[in-house]
């Protein structure tokens, strides 16, 4: 029997789950691994038990059913074509041999949010309100990406984690995590130039920012040719097809970019890394322009707008201590309402909202 929650019930469930995760990661637990595991339990469970939750849920569920678990790694590599998701196939081999669709959806979802949790806890746990709000923003953004665009959600999360090695100037480790992301979605290669946006002095030089923005506009101009040339037949159709939408996301990201630019000096004073994060967010806005012509290629912007996970919570510290709690609540309400607008649909549309799960046997 399929049990479907109401819209408000679904939102309440997600809010509860991510508040619990945020509280766990805020708590003083010496063992970071244990802390991450505890914070991930509820997101893992609702991901694994979900049914028809996620815009692409049907295609991934069908792919799980059709996957041949006897496929060997050698066969996988010998038949490899650019764009094949070796990472997802490895997860399929493990979960299919265990005969557990629950584990398939649970593990793939965990790969979307656990690297983000690790990165935030490792690199940004310095201010009182930051971690709880950042985890909450992660839940209502990256987690929901992972419910639908599973492969790209995983790739984005590993690219986010790789930022740690951009700031610490460790090119081999940075490359390793981008390669892991590539194993799930080949578009992750577009994240490679990010390493050169930072330098050993702990700054993002003006000329590097100029080159990054210029490169984004160059890609915007020739994206169809670039994707057709380097993406192979698999992505050529995406690059050349016209899928027009209202592209409200562009206006929303543009709004937040303006906010970040207005408070740029204060944000950079809070943390020098914000200089580069704002540049990455600007690149996301540029790539969002693709949404007016091609809704699929617009997803490339998601690799860069993910930095809002760090930028939005830091806006809190621009305000006085008395007003910070109110700002925290306003940011939390905004991210929930935004998520509802982007992820709500009819019960049979596979939208992440409302949430549904199977109770007992599926008829």
pLDDT of residue 121: 93
Is a pLDDT exceeding 90 seen at residue 289? no
pLDDT in the model for residue 35: 95
Tell me, what's the pLDDT at 249? 84
Q: Are 232 and 298 in contact (CB under 8 A)?
A: no
Q: How far is CA 273 from CA 65, 76, 104, 123, in A?
A: 44, 40, 36, 11
| Total domains, the chain | 2
Do residue 264 and residue 328 come from a single domain?
A: no
CB within 8 Å of 347: residues ≥ 6 apart? 4, 354, 356
Q: Residue 50 carries which DSSP code? A: B
Residue listed under structure tokens 């915007």? 220
Write out pLDDT tens, residues 229-287.
Answer: 655 566 656 555 555 567 788 888 999 999 999 999 999 999 999 999 999 999 999 99
Same structural domain, 123 and 244: no
Confidence at residue 320, expressed as pLDDT on a 0 to 100 scale: 83
Across the strands, what pairs with 358?
2
Q: Quick one: which of 297, 301, 356, 362 has its CA closest to 47?
A: 356
pTM: 0.93
pLDDT exceeds 90 at position 324: no
pLDDT at 362: 58
127-132 mean pLDDT: 83
Q: Please indicate, yes or no, whether residues 208 and 152 belong to a single structural domain of this protein.
A: no
Confidence of residue 9 (pLDDT cuts 50, 70, 90): very high
Say if CB 127 and CB 317 are below 8 A apart: yes
pLDDT at residue 221 tops 90? no
Query: Domain check: are 59 and 119 in the same one?
Result: yes
Would the pLDDT of 118 be above 70? Answer: yes
- For residue range 38-92, what is the model confidence (pLDDT) as tens digits? 999 999 999 999 999 998 999 999 999 999 988 887 888 888 887 789 999 999 9
Q: Which residue has the tokens 């790694």?
A: 73
Domain containing residue 275: 198-318
The pLDDT of residue 235 is: 62
Same domain, 54 and 109: yes
pLDDT of residue 231: 58
Whether 245 and 355 map to the same domain: the answer is: no
- For the chain, give percent helix, strand, coil, nearest 5: 75, 5, 20
98 with 171, same domain: the answer is yes
Q: Is residue 16 located within the same domain as residue 128?
A: yes
User: Is pLDDT at 361 greater than 60 in this prediction?
Assistant: no
pLDDT for 102: 95
In DSSP notation, 225-280 reads HHHHHHHHHHHHHHHH--B----HHHHHHHHHHHHHHHTHHHHHHH-TTHHHHHHH
Q: Are residues 256 and 346 in the same domain?
A: no
Indicate whether 298 pLDDT > 90.
Answer: no
Note the pLDDT of residue 71: 84
pLDDT at res. 72: 81
Give yes or no: residues 105 and 243 share one domain. no
For position 347, what pLDDT does the model report? 65
Residue 116 reports pLDDT greater than 90:
yes
Q: 146 and 37 share a domain?
A: yes
Work out the pLDDT band at 155, boundaries 50, 70, 90. very high
Final residue in a domain of this structure, among 318, 338, 354: 318
Q: What pLDDT is stored for residue 238 in this prediction? A: 59
Measuring CA to CA, how many Å separate 319 from each of 11, 58, 205, 259, 326? Answer: 28, 45, 28, 14, 10
> Which pair of tokens denotes residue 283?
């690149």
Provide, rounded to the nearest whole percent, the portion of the chain with pLDDT above 70: 92
Answer yes or no: do 55 and 187 share one domain.
Answer: yes
């Amino acid at each position: 029997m399929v049990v479907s929650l109401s819209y408000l019930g679904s939102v309440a469930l997600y809010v509860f789950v991510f508040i619990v995760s945020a509280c766990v990661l805020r708590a003083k637990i010496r063992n970071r691994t244990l802390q991450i595991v505890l914070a991930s339990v509820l997101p893992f469970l609702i991901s694994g038990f979900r049914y028809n939750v996620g815009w692409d849920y049907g295609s991934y569920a069908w792919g799980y059913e059709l996957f041949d678990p006897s496929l060997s790694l050698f066969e996988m590599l010998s038949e490899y074509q650019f764009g094949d998701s070796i990472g997802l196939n490895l997860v399929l081999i493990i979960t299919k041999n265990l005969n557990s669709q629950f584990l398939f959806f649970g593990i793939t979802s965990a790969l979307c949010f656990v690297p983000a949790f690790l990165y935030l806890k490792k690199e940004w746990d310095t201010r009182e309100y930051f971690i709880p709000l950042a985890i909450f923003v992660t839940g209502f953004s990256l987690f929901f990406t992972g419910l639908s665009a599973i492969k790209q959600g995983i790739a984005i999360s590993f690219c986010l984690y790789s930022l740690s090695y951009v700031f610490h100037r460790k090119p081999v480790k940075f490359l390793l995590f981008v390669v892991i992301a590539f194993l799930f979605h080949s578009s992750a290669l577009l994240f490679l130039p990010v390493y050169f946006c930072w330098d050993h002095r702990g700054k993002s030089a003006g000329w590097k920012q100029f080159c990054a923005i210029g490169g984004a506009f160059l890609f915007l101009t020739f994206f169809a040719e670039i994707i057709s040339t380097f993406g192979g037949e698999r992505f050529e159709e995406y690059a050349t097809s016209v899928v027009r939408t209202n592209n409200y996301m562009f206006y929303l990201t543009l709004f937040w970019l303006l906010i970040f630019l207005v408070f740029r000096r204060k944000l950079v004073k809070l943390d020098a890394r914000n200089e580069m994060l704002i540049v990455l967010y600007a690149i996301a806005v540029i790539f969002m322009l693709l949404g007016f012509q091609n809704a699929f290629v617009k997803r490339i912007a998601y690799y860069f707008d993910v930095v809002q996970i760090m930028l939005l919570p830091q806006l809190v510290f621009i305000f006085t201590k008395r007003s910070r709690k109110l700002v925290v609540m306003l940011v939390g309400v905004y991210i929930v309402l935004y998520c509802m607008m982007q992820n709500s649909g009819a019960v049979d549309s596979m939208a992440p909202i409302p949430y549904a799960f199977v109770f007992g046997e599926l008829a």
